[in-house]
Structure 1
Amino acid sequence: MFNAMTKILERPALYKNTEVAFWNDEYISKQMLKAHLDPEFEGASRKLKFIEKSVAWIKEIVPPSSYPLLLDIGCGPGIYAERFTGIGYQVTGIDFSIRSIDYGQNSAIKQGLDTIPSEE
């Protein structure tokens, strides 16, 4: 019993590769998606009001007429990408979470936004 407790209490090695793809772990990816989609929770995405202000600011400094292509790195479920697509940008979103990418693509399709299937 003591040996088992000692092993549990050991500090893990820094930057050790995990055996599970963290962002695609069933539980973690569900909770992250839920957090991203809550407009009042600022733990995964910003609050909706901040997102809207950010999109307006970016449109002002890099208008889609001059800079039509955007790359959204760490796009999650596409909260920003949808807004940018809706105002004239062509957005490429990338994320580690397959669940978030799937959600974002399905949401864009439901809204009639142009999408290109991901290549996994």
Structure 2
Amino acid sequence: MNSRRLVCSATKDLLVPVVLLPESFIERARGLLGVYSNDHPPMLFRDCSMIHMFGMRVPLDVIFLDRCDQVVEVIHGLRPWRVGWCWHGVHTLEMPAGFARRLGIIKGRRFDIC
């Protein structure tokens, strides 16, 4: 599994030093299953506009991005056994619940993922 950094495009501020990028089918299928606390790095799923929380134990903040890595939707605290999707989303960023608010992630914000 590769990792990247999440940087604000406008200010060039480093928001998250480690974002995991699952590549294989197994890595993508497993995702954050087995995570029992909100002490984990965010995970970015490329080419994914729908996620499920089946089998998850902790809520997550879910951020949907377009092709240019601009935020098109934010779901705060999506609870286990729920589904989240966005018709305009192309990529999905999952992070610990409350993290998106602390970072000031809002609709329209653009990121560099490098």
TM-score normalised to structure 2 length: 0.26
Structure number having the greater helix percentage:
1
Structure number having the greater strand percentage:
2
| Structure of larger gyration radius | 1
Greater RCO (Cα-Cα under 8 Å, separation 6 or more): 2
